[in-house]
Amino acid sequence: MPLSGADKEVIAATWSKVSGKSAAIGADAFARLLTVYSQTKTYFSHFADLSPGSANVKGHGAKIIDAIAKAATNINNIEGSLKVLSELHAYNLRVDPVNFKLLAHCILVSLSISLGADFTPEAHLAWDKFLCEVADVLSEKYR
């Protein structure tokens, strides 16, 4: 289902509350991905340390969340803002697209922890729809 105007507003409002903590949210989400879905570690075997809080996990988590922030602030052109990354993941990194949904779920968990009571059912819905769109855009080049 496409993002409604209300969804876009709630994403902008909630992101503005936690954008100052974005690097920590990215690192938390990425650490969750590697821990809960440990098969995803195979893609990062060239990283020296995949434990939560490591420099590698913090650094890569920050990159991931910066891309999410870019898509959230260009919410009417998610495809355009992720175009280069979509090609990178499909043609160079060859990440199985099932993994995008796993990371999306981990980002939802990290956001909910950061937002606390502001992670309302409406915010949950809007972020879930948005992150599904991000996952779809990243999967597009595989078709």
98 interacts with ligand HNI by CB under 6 A: no
Token couple for 43: 């893609």
Identify which range of 6-14, 17-25, 85-93, 108-116 contacts ligand HNI by CB under 6 A. 85-93
103 interacts with ligand HNI by CB under 6 A: yes
Which of 64, 106, 115, 126 binds ligand HNI (CB under 6 A)? It is 64
Identify which range of 3-11, 18-26, 95-103, 115-123 contacts ligand HNI by CB under 6 A. 95-103
As a whole number of angstroms, the distance between CA 13 and CA 17 comes to 7
Which residues 13-42 are close enough to bind ligand HNI by CB under 6 A?
Answer: 40
Token couple for 102: 């796993």
DSSP characters over the chain: -PPPHHHHHHHHHHHHHHGGGHHHHHHHHHHHHHHHTGGGGGGGTTSS--STT-HHHHHHHHHHHHHHHHHHHTGGGHHHHTHHHHHIIIIII---THHHHHHHHHHHHHHHHHHGGG--HHHHHHHHHHHHHHHHHHHGGG-
Binding residues for ligand HNI, total number by CB under 6 A: 18
Identify which range of 10-18, 19-27, 92-100, 116-124 contacts ligand HNI by CB under 6 A. 92-100
Identify which range of 3-11, 13-21, 98-106, 113-121 contacts ligand HNI by CB under 6 A. 98-106
CB of 54 to ligand HNI, least distance (A): 14
Most distant CA pair in the chain, distance: 43
67 interacts with ligand HNI by CB under 6 A: yes
Q: C-alpha distances in angstroms, 86 versus 3, 109, 117? A: 20, 23, 33
Residues at the interface with ligand HNI (CB under 6 A): 40, 43-44, 63-64, 67-68, 85, 88-89, 93, 95, 99-100, 103-104, 134, 138
